[in-house]
Structure 1
Amino acid sequence: MTIKGMIFDLDGTLLDTIEDLRDSVNLAMDRFGYARYTSADIKQKIGDGMKVLIQRCLDEEASEALVEEVIQVFLQDYNRRQFDKTAPYDGIMEMLQTLNAKGIQVGIISNKQNANTQSIVDHYFKEIAFTFVSGEIQGIDRKPDPTLTLRCVEAMKLKPEEILYVGDTKVDMLTGHNAGLKTVGVTWGFRDRQELIDHSADYLVDHPGELLKFII
């Protein structure tokens, strides 16, 4: 297997964003009279886009209008604080720098809103050369739909068997497989090893540096 490209999820894979997300969720919950959530709670609710995150934090009876109101409060706060506590996981920068140095193409596909995805990647990874970066785009189905991942594959001009999809949740494993790619589940993210196994991760890694074994 000759790997020439890797496509990464963002939250829970490259960046630990959970505390900033939790704080913005809780500000919105406080504003509308709902219970607050711990980081562990948010880790279980995240992964399917911002709207689904907010829906999961509200009760089942919440109207669409209320969901949209809460989203606006959440977004206004998150846009202000998204760089406060977020940081790359240990070893991520070194791993990405090594991939760049060895000519391995890298891309990012996230279910985070595209504007936030672009700004946060520019902030934390401005020294890394990415072939393709995209968050959720209106009118295009989010992961595990493979549309944006396939656009990344096309931009890389590589064969599917030359690319790995790397992520921390079942959504990522499904996304990679839906795009015809081998998947790597990372165990340092928001979900546990068993979820990755249950959703047919082709490989598991416990540290970012272990990804380099695929390019040797």
Structure 2
Amino acid sequence: MQNFLFDFDSTLADTRHVAVIATQQAYKLQGLTVPTPEAVISYMGIPIEVSFAKMAQEPLDESALETLYTVFRAQYQQAEQQGMAPFNGMATTLAQLKTRGNRLFVVSSKHSVALKRNLDQLELGSFFEAVSGSDLVDHYKPAPDGILDLLTRFDLDPKTSLMIGDAKYDIQMGTNAGIATAGAMWGAADPDSVKAESPTYILVTPADLLTI
């Protein structure tokens, strides 16, 4: 493989705690029923534009949802200062991939602005040529838009490109884009659902990427 496309949350970095805190606080501030940590984690991997309406127990119109997104993003920016870190061995693995000439990208359900901010905060931003966030696609995961965007922008060969992710949505997206896939078991909240998608590779640690 020559081109490595990474999901962000629970693949490059452990962000579950931050996501739970920010989501619960946003729902609380809007007077809504607060989703459980399990519910929040189960929807990680798809954008808030999809998951928030599904988690809400009250009916929300478009205006209420837009306000909820705004409140969440503000809460996330505060919460990310408390507990966000790359997985063990991730920075070393990315550096080795970069040194040997691989091209690295990020495909995430996060908005690109937050994604770039988080990568820089974790001192990982310099490893990646570009990112594709939820604001750059017409259709969210598991649609292949994020991957196809990068393949087109950087003239990447699908046959030597790999999507790495911790959730079934990442594997489905890679499959839908016609590229190889790798399940990042170190961050998977539901390993069985990832394996059920038959990824090309199952990775136990970030260093396993160096063997592909």
Whether the 8 Å CA contact 1:48–1:111 is kept in 2: the answer is yes
Deviation at 1:77, TM superposition (A): 1.5
Give unpaired runs (5+ residues) of structure 1.
Answer: none
Which segment is superposed worse, 26-35 or 113-122? 26-35
Deviation at 1:38, TM superposition (A): 4.6
Whether the 8 Å CA contact 1:22–1:39 is kept in 2: the answer is yes
Q: Which one of 129, 132, 142 corresponds to residue 130 of structure 2?
A: 132
The structure 1 segments of at least 4 consecutive aligned residues displaced by more than 6 Å after TM superposition are none
Give unpaired runs (5+ residues) of structure 2.
Answer: none
Task: Tell whether 2:106 aligns with 1:103.
Answer: no
Deviations 1:64-99 (A, max 9, x none): 332222222111211233232111111111110110
1:1-216 equivalent positions in 2, closer than 5 A: 3-59=1-57, 61-126=59-124, 128-137=126-135, 140-214=138-212
Deviations 1:147-175 (A, max 9, x none): 23123223443321111110011111111
Deviations 1:32-54 (A, max 9, x none): 33344454332102221012232
Question: In the aligned structure 1, how far is the partner of 2:110 from the partner of 2:194?
Answer: 20
Q: How many residues align?
A: 212
Whether the 8 Å CA contact 1:107–1:133 is kept in 2: the answer is yes
Deviation at 1:5, TM superposition (A): 1.3
Question: In the aligned structure 2, how far is the partner of 1:160 from the partner of 1:212?
Answer: 19
SS at 1:117 equivalent: helix
Deviation at 1:186, TM superposition (A): 0.9
SS at 2:209 equivalent: helix
SS at 1:164 equivalent: strand
SS at 2:133 equivalent: strand
RMSD in angstroms over aligned alpha carbons? Answer: 1.9
State the TM-score, normalizing by the size of structure 2.
0.90
Matched to 2:195, the amino acid is I
SS at 1:112 equivalent: coil
Change (3 A) 1:158 1:52: closer
Whether the 8 Å CA contact 1:131–1:155 is kept in 2: the answer is no
Whether the 8 Å CA contact 1:95–1:208 is kept in 2: the answer is yes
SS at 2:109 equivalent: strand
